[in-house]
């Protein structure tokens, strides 16, 4: 029955529920019930101060005191002052409520970290039916709790110092191994990055060699096109190179072909013979395309070519994508 989801009609959501605790506990006229796996400082004491009929449920476990998640000194103060403190095994819920006016549920413990450092989210339930639902869910747990005696607390106080030292040694060993594991992973990632970069640089060098060879072996144009740069009225537009009247950028005369070039590179090839006929070779340029340009200094760039003009010139060339 109680494992099914619950819908609460009236809930106030808080990232720090401690101020809500203090306000509701001051106004409450009925005994307080507090469930908090971990307790540090005076967080719990400040809520129940002067309310000896209140009940506090927590984890009374040597491991939580050794790790510092909870402080035996805080538990001892409550017990010594006469408050009812119980050990509730496997407690994980965080609940503060009274008999009839409010209940809070959420992630926040009654600890210094819970109110200052941790990212917490809790809700305060105010609706009468919702309060009854929360109490009905919590009450069966409380019957399994064991009340702490002053003697139990005293025994734990004596045991905790050695346990804390052992836990610190254990924690230091865990931290050391954790740092080793993370350092090893960083080293592996660095080597992988260096290997990938070396591979990339090698590929770039090969691309550069191919480009340089292609440029060096490319036939020189036998023609020269002349024009003038035109900016236009909009200063935001790129300059445009306009070819002189009668000229065109869509065809370039590459001069006479040589005897030993491939047939596919010739405009004319005499089939059935081994003779490659010298012929004027014309290179067509597709309008609107961008073409790689190389200056005599070896600087790369590109030009967007139209029939009678170059409408854009750029310097950025990513060799890795050529």
Mean pLDDT by 10 residues, the chain (322 residues): 52 77 86 93 89 94 94 95 95 89 86 69 78 89 94 96 94 95 96 94 82 70 76 69 82 62 45 48 76 71 84 70 47
pLDDT at residue number 178: 96
- Distance separating alpha carbons of residues 252 and 177, to the nearest angstrom: 69
Residue 187 lies inside a defined structural domain of this protein = no
- Distance separating alpha carbons of residues 86 and 152, to the nearest angstrom: 11
Q: Could you tell me which residues are beta bridge partners of residue 252? A: 283
Boundary-marking domain end, from 104, 125, 148: 148
Residue 173 lies inside a defined structural domain of this protein = no
The string of pLDDT tens digits covering residues 272-313 is: 444 444 455 667 788 888 887 776 666 777 888 888 888 887
Residues 271 and 292 in one domain: no
Residues 18 and 118 in one domain: yes
Residues 18 and 144 in one domain: yes
In 10 A of CB 152, how many CB atoms? 16
> What are φ and ψ of residue 242, in 5° steps?
-100, 125
Domain count, the chain: 3
Residues 86 and 46 in one domain: yes
Boundary-marking domain end, from 98, 124, 148: 148
Residues 135 and 245 in one domain: no
Residue 321 lies inside a defined structural domain of this protein = yes
pLDDT at residue number 192: 95
CATH number at residue 47: 3.30.870.10
Residue corresponding to tokens 């440029």: 215
Residues 16 and 131 in one domain: yes
pLDDT at residue number 287: 81
pLDDT at residue number 311: 82
Residues 127 and 74 in one domain: yes
Residues 72 and 123 in one domain: yes
- Give me the domain span that covers residue 24: 11-148
Q: Is the pTM of this model over 0.85?
A: no
Residues 110 and 30 in one domain: yes
- Distance separating alpha carbons of residues 279 and 11, to the nearest angstrom: 89
Residues 21 and 141 in one domain: yes
Residue 206 lies inside a defined structural domain of this protein = no
Residues 235 and 272 in one domain: no
Residues 25 and 108 in one domain: yes
Assess contact for 70 and 39: CB atoms under 8 A. Answer: yes
Boundary-marking domain end, from 102, 123, 148: 148
Residue 6 lies inside a defined structural domain of this protein = no
Assess contact for 105 and 134: CB atoms under 8 A. Answer: yes
Task: Please name the residue ranges forming H helices in 28-96.
Answer: 43-48, 62-67, 72-80
pLDDT at residue number 126: 73
């Amino acid at each position: 029955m109680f494992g099914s989801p619950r819908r609460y009609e009236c809930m106030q959501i808080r990232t720090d529920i401690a101020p809500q605790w203090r306000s509701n506990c001051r106004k409450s006229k009925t005994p307080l019930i507090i469930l908090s796996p971990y307790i540090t400082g005076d967080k719990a004491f400040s809520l129940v101060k002067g309310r000896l009929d209140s009940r506090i449920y927590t984890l009374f476990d040597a491991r939580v005191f050794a790790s510092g998640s909870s402080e035996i000194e805080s538990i001892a103060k409550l017990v010594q002052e006469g408050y009812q403190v119980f050990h509730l095994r496997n407690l994980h819920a965080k609940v503060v409520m009274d008999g009839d006016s409010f209940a809070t549920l959420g992630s926040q413990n009654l600890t210094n970290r819970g109110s200052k450092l941790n990212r917490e989210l809790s809700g305060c339930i105010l609706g009468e039916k919702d309060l009854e639902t929360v109490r009905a869910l919590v009450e069966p747990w409380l019957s399994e709790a064991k009340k702490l005696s002053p003697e139990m607390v005293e025994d734990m106080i004596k045991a905790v110092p050695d346990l804390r030292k052992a836990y610190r040694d254990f924690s230091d060993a865990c931290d050391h191994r954790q740092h080793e594991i993370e350092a090893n992973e960083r080293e592996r990632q660095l080597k992988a990055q260096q290997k990938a970069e070396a591979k990339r640089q090698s590929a770039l060098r090969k691309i550069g060699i191919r480009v340089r060879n292609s440029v060096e072996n490319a036939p020189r144009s036998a023609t020269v096109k002349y024009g003038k740069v035109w900016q236009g009225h909009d200063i935001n537009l790129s300059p445009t190179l306009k070819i002189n009247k009668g000229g065109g950028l869509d065809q370039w005369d590459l001069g006479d072909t040589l005897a030993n070039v491939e047939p596919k590179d010739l405009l004319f090839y005499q089939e059935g013979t081994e003779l490659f006929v010298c012929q004027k070779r014309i290179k067509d340029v597709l309008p609107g395309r961008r073409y790689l340009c190389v200056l005599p200094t070896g600087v790369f760039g590109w030009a967007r070519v139209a029939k009678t003009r170059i409408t854009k010139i750029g310097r950025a060339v990513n060799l890795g994508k050529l």
